[in-house]
A = this chain, B = another copy of it.
């Protein structure tokens, strides 16, 4: 089988680099088109990221020499590739993602620009794969033939929404109070100044609490007519903190359900949970999406962030909450599951569901 050709918009930034690093040796996709800002356009990739390639694994050999295009070269993208990952800054993502889609190039986006468009699916493949059904509606509405936009939610919520989802299906979520301790890589590069975070915690991340509270309601929502409707019955209150950890967002969660499950029911549901990505054996799907740790002090970012190649969520310390029903700790890798890896899993789902077929 020939691999699909993939583009990366915003290829020189931290998320763009992460896509390129993770797509090395991908069985279905190969990186064939790169676009970035004017500063980098016209250079070979290796040259464009000189002195700011952020990963221990070196730039994949086959990407080193690729030309970095100007973001304006949608036509080239249309000719060269089957779809693109957008790692663009939110400020420019809105315009360019739409122009690529309009030009016939499907966009799988990491940015928050289109997350609140009611015809744009915001996907965690284990949770709401069926929201992809909005895509034909989106295309029709916007007059796009082949292009479309599908988005990934914010990194902060992946750690707790994935374990909450299968419980919600059985017991109906009512309220969540969550405190996140988020890794610095979540802020991109240069991101957080070292002077601000060594021997310190920053108890605020711009826009993060709003995303953490609202995005889950869309993800757990449903398609009604030609739009995706939020699940308004769930109330979330988030405290988001930046901590001196390289990778891995940790969350302390207190939760109340309509009907309170037993501890054993919860553990069994987590143990047994498999989603569509697991059923389809998607390449980036972790075998077991939710891993419960029995140890008294786990999960921990450095020990557990790489589980399932960075795509599994690790959970631990399930116990009763004195105020709501239960408490637990959850962890996910913010730049893999929470960013580029999550985007790749969406693209794999799109491929299996045939959304790239008509290209």
Contacts and interface: CB of A to CB of B under 8 A. Distances in A.
Interface of A: 14, 50-51, 54-56, 175-177, 179, 181, 184-185, 189-204, 213, 235-237, 239, 241, 243-246, 250, 252, 254, 295-307, 316-317, 321-324, 327, 329
B246 A177 contact: no
B203 A250 contact: yes
Given A190-B195, A194-B196, A201-B243, A56 B316 contact: no
A1 to B, nearest CB: 29
A199 B198 contact: yes
Contacts of A306: 56
27 contacts: A56-B303, A176-B323, A177-B177, A177-B254, A177-B321, A177-B323, A177-B324, A179-B252, A189-B193, A190-B193, A192-B194, A194-B194, A197-B198, A198-B244, A199-B301, A201-B250, A201-B301, A202-B297, A203-B300, A213-B322, A236-B322, A237-B324, A239-B252, A241-B252, A243-B244, A244-B244, A323-B324
B184 A181 contact: no
Contacts of A329: 203, 239
A203 B323 contact: no
A186 to B, nearest CB: 10
